[in-house]
């Protein structure tokens, strides 16, 4: 599988993602610039974390209009895989490739710390290989990670098994105390109806190198590759 990682002005996790995909997972990975219009034949596009265009207007609102996004949207609409992490998740909601929006954290503070995630659905490339009974420790770093959607949309996400992750405590309990940003129903990641577009606020690429003492994020990349090979 060939991956492409997009760099927007203000991206700061693009090189982390490239390193994990290329050096740790051993995948062919190309670097895509926001002004590109050609995805160079990649199978899987990654929109990384950061502060695209300085997070002016709303996070992801300007990046959604970068030239490359026309190609990313076309790729997704044809069934190609797209993963948005943190700011990338925000870009996906602004592009309407995923429902809902990311609001300011309910604390109105930027939060950078380790949190725990529990896989909610196992019916996706990102989660199929994960243990649904395990709490995965993954870092977050965001000021606008509060996932919101109206009641009908939330009901549809639940009914269609489109919720990938919920914030939980170290024992896997999903409760208000484990919710770092106020996200509705502790939602930390979702997929689209066709299950080829994925968005999540936590950063698995920051928990994929043994030198960091945490490989919980690597399990998500392994799940993607194992499912493709299968």
Alpha helices in the chain (DSSP H): 14-19, 67-77, 87-94, 151-159, 218-229
Catalytic residue among 94, 120, 144, 205: 205
Catalytic residue status for 86: yes
Of 11, 64, 68, the closest CA to residue 37 belongs to: 68
Catalytic residue among 13, 27, 86, 168: 86
Catalytic residue status for 142: no
Given its phi and psi angles, is residue 200 left (phi above 0), alpha (psi -120 to 50 degrees) or beta?
Answer: beta
In angstroms, the first-to-last Cα distance of the chain is 12
CA distance linking residue 6 with residue 92, whole number of Å: 13
Catalytic residue status for 74: no
CB 142 within 8 A of CB 110: yes
Please list the helix, strand and coil fractions of the chain in percent, rounded to the nearest 5, in that order: 30, 25, 40
By annotation, the residues acting in catalysis are 86, 203, 205
């Amino acid at each position: 599988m060939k991956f492409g990682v997009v760099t927007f002005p203000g991206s700061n996790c693009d090189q982390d993602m490239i390193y994990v995909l290329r050096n740790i997972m051993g995948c062919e990975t190309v670097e895509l610039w926001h002004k590109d219009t050609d995805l160079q034949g990649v199978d899987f596009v990654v929109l990384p974390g950061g502060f695209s265009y300085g997070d002016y207007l709303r996070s992801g609102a300007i990046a959604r209009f970068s030239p490359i996004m026309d190609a990313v949207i076309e790729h997704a609409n044809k069934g190609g895989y797209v993963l948005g992490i943190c700011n990338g998740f925000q870009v996906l909601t602004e592009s309407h490739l995923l429902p809902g929006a990311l609001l300011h954290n309910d604390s109105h503070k930027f939060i950078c710390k380790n949190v725990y995630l529990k896989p909610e659905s196992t019916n996706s490339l990102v989660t199929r290989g994960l243990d649904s009974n395990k709490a995965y420790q993954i870092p977050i770093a965001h000021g606008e990670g509060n996932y919101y959607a109206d009641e009908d949309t939330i009901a549809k996400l639940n009914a269609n098994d489109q919720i990938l992750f919920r914030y939980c405590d170290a024992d896997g309990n999903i409760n208000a105390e484990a919710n770092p940003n106020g996200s509705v129903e502790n939602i930390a990641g979702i997929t689209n109806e066709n299950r080829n577009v994925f968005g999540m606020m936590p950063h698995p690429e920051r928990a994929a190198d043994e030198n960091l003492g945490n490989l919980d994020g690597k399990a998500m990349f392994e799940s993607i590759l194992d499912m493709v090979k299968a």
